[in-house]
Structure 1
């Protein structure tokens, strides 16, 4: 059970090396990009990326990156919906199944609410070792949409 000292922190020069050392289980390789890849994406898109580290006390246990107010299908002139949601979630292999992922997703959803949105989006690679059951338990429902090779799920956050 995660401790009450759970928190998200910004990635800094002091913790970036440890962040890049996080790794998921071997059966999850290929289902989520490594933290270093995510940080490169965040660097290239600082206007939409929100990368954070998940700490339990002084122990680094994971990485989460959100996106805010993005046109999900920018090439479709008929789809002007702005979406916010979970872009990446990496909980270190040795810390999975302890509530850290739930904490990270709930923290992202709270930030989405704080920014005035009422819906969170996430996408994932479907498959035997994929996170569909995890996201379903948190209330995400498949939309029937695809983002590349990933299925899309949404969670209604309620009124802000």
Structure 2
């Protein structure tokens, strides 16, 4: 279990370490690398919320939230917020850091007035569905870009 995890913003002092964060090799096809996420955060800066998870001085994870994005192009009123990306260092998985990161994004969404968050994941036996379901995410019956969509009430 994490001793004292905390969130930090991306800065010039930690961006290189952020880009070096790696998930397990068998998970690389399931989640984009942090460098890609940071490029997306730059391009979508109005909605992206990238953060780093530290335990003491050790970088252990990278969550990125999104806030009030138009989910469906045919419905401008369908604005959603949630967890865009989650990378936990390969040797730090299974210790509660992912749960902490999801909780942090949830708290930020709640602070912004949201009552639920969404996330997507790659389907399949090797995907993270079980992790998200244990946290309380429920399937919406939708897919986005071939990924399963889940939602969590706040």
Fold-level similarity (TM above 0.5) = yes
Give the alignment's TM-score, normalised by structure 1. 0.94
Distance, in Å, in 2 between the alignment partners of 1:2 and 1:9 is 16
Distance, in Å, in 1 between the alignment partners of 2:92 and 2:54 is 11
- Alpha-carbon RMSD across the aligned residues, in angstroms, is 0.8
Once superposed, which parts of structure 1, at least 4 consecutive aligned residues long, lie more than 2 Å away? none
SS in 1 for 2:131: helix
SS in 1 for 2:85: strand
1:76 aligns with 2:90: no
Counterpart position of 1:129:
126
User: What pairs up with 1:88-127 in 2 under 5 angstroms?
Assistant: 88-127=85-124
Residue 88 (structure 1) shift:
0.2
Deviations 1:114-142 (A, max 9, x none): 00000010001111221100000000000
Distance, in Å, in 2 between the alignment partners of 1:16 and 1:87 is 18
Give the alignment's TM-score, normalised by structure 2. 0.98
Residue 76 (structure 1) shift:
1.1
How many residue pairs align between the two structures? 154
Q: Which runs of 5+ in 1 are unaligned?
A: none
Distance, in Å, in 1 between the alignment partners of 2:125 and 2:89 is 19
Residue 52 (structure 1) shift:
0.1
SS in 2 for 1:30: coil
Distance, in Å, in 1 between the alignment partners of 2:80 and 2:51 is 19
Counterpart position of 1:42:
41
Distance, in Å, in 2 between the alignment partners of 1:11 and 1:149 is 29
Distance, in Å, in 1 between the alignment partners of 2:146 and 2:121 is 8
